[in-house]
Structure 1
Amino acid sequence: MYTARGTVQTSDLLAQYAPLVRRLALQLMAKLPASVELDDLVQAGMLGLLDAESRYQETQGAQFETYASQRIRGAMLDELREMDWASRGVRKIARQIEQSVQRLQQRLGRSPAESEIAADMQVSLEAYQQMLQEAHGCQLVYYEDFEGDDEEPFLDRLSADHHADPLAALLDDDLRHVLSDAIERLPEREKLLMSLYYEQGLNLREIGAVLEVSESRVCQLHSQAISRLRVRLREQAWTTSKQ
């Protein structure tokens, strides 16, 4: 098996990068319900690692570990999608929240407040916040949510040319710009939360300390932010398809 590092045995590859696979699995587990098994994600990640090794080319210009990390995580996301790990009830709640956010954004021309979303859904603010709590973890932003219904692996869909560098596609694709714009449109506190969580790597408890709210409240705000992002991404995909 050839890589930029020379010929290696599969067993050596797995041993060398097993800590990376486990670390990525643990990072993903932090966003998922307890029903998801760590071992399932690790196993999928190992397959993603082997796939990365077989596809990697030194001429792509990316470090192998960087390239492998993307493919490992993509394999884990594909595994979650196939497992359909979120219950039907939880998915229904997430859809209802997103539908309400979309209705209000179209009507108001801005991001709606929590109280406005609760009123639109005809529930109390407390009930709405409980719904956000329940939806936490089931709202991963899948690329396939916005780009058709084919069954290609997650990373392969990031470029129409499968010989191109998937990492470069991930960084340069229009999705990145759309997502950045959607994040900029978030309310200030939710935008700060996303920065602390995804850019600075703080956990929910640490973010709660920064925002001076409880950990459960951070979960609620995170779910709400993800709902807003998913709505923006779908709207942009629809607009692009009409051009």
Structure 2
Amino acid sequence: MPPRTPTAYQALDLNEAITTHLPLVKRIAYQIASRLPPNVEIDDLVQEGLTGLLDALKRYEPQPNLNFEVYARTRIRGAIYDACRRNDILPRNQRDDLVRLEKTTRSLEQTLGRHPTEIEVADACEMSLDQYHEVMGTMVNLMPLDDLSEEMLPADLGSDPLQAASMRQFADRIASILEGLPENERLVMALHYQEDLSYREIAQVMNLTAGRISQIHTQGMIRIRAKLKIR
């Protein structure tokens, strides 16, 4: 189906629009569900994603290099992550571990002038490497990169040039941080967010287990959050 203009989207029957983009909503919901506890219902995530889709259909305005599907992905993911936050998906003990690891990572980066290794972070937290990997493995539901972008996405990209400029600056900052990540973390981020591969698919590409890919993703997210000083 050829891309539609915003006017065509507005004129499109709502049921047809939902039917057209429902596969995208389901794909995103299943991707997010793979990082969440097993008690989270996929149907609930799909419903939240549909809320994001409806919001995207309502708000979308033409922007250079921003087609509807790219915009909708952000809104769909944002709606699902908002629901996760409301339901406190990340338990208190994991939240405490996350803050501790972010602070330790930030402190080591300032001291060493480079990204600390896994062993260096583990030692600073008085953990064995196995304990560190276990903590990484339990944080599979850590809010991913899309969520960081959504937090700073203007409510209406076309309504305020200053907001749009701020978003571009933030995107440039994220790109710079990603470029500076260790090679394995940078590759996982690229395959997951740019190539849209699941952890299992990335594991096959990198000849690792899906669990190890999850750990690497979490490790990369902690570095990014530490750089952005997100609590």
TM-score by length of 1: 0.78
Q: Following TM superposition, by how much is the alpha carbon of 1:120 offset from its aligned partner in structure 2, in angstroms?
A: 0.2
1:48 aligns with 2:52: yes
Question: Could you tell me which of 3, 8, 15 is aligned with 1:4?
Answer: 8
Tell me if the contact between 2:9 and 2:17 (Cα under 8 Å) persists in the aligned partners: no
In the alignment, what sits opposite 1:147? none
Q: CA offset at residue 170 of structure 1?
A: 9.3
How large is the RMSD of aligned CA atoms in angstroms?
2.9
Give CA deviations for 1:18-67 in whole Å, capped at 9, x if unaligned.
Answer: 2221122122223323232211221112122222222234x556543343
Find the partner of 1:84 among 79, 84, 88: 88
Q: 2:113 aligns with which of 109, 112, 136?
A: 109
Measured against aligned partners, the alpha-carbon deviations of 1:172-193 in whole angstroms (never above 9, x if no partner) come to 6111111111111111222122
Partner of 1:148: none
The percentage of aligned residue pairs carrying the same residue is 36
SS of 2:141 mapped into structure 1: coil
* Residues 9 and 57 in structure 2, CA contact (< 8 A), matched pair in contact too: no
Change (3 A) 1:15 1:182: same
TM-score, structure 2 length as denominator? 0.82
Aligned AA for 2:114? R
AA aligned opposite 1:123: M
Aligned to 2:202: 207
2:187 to 189, 192, 208: 192
SS in 2 for 1:133: helix
Please give the secondary structure, in 1, of the residue aligned with 2:228.
Answer: helix
Q: Displacement of 1:83 after TM fit?
A: 1.7
Tell me if structure 1 keeps the 8 A contact 2:90–2:142: yes
1:79 Cα deviation (Å)? 1.6
Counterpart amino acid of residue 153 in structure 2: L
Q: How many residue pairs end up in the alignment?
A: 222
In the alignment, the residues of structure 1 paired with residue 10 and residue 136 of structure 2 have an alpha-carbon distance, to the nearest angstrom, of 49
Contact map agreement 2:10 2:57 (CA 8 A) in 1: no
- Structure 2 counterpart of 1:24, one-letter code: I
Deviations 1:188-233 (A, max 9, x none): 2221222222222333233233333322222211111110111112
Partner residue, 2:148: 143
- 1:230 paired with 2:219, answer no
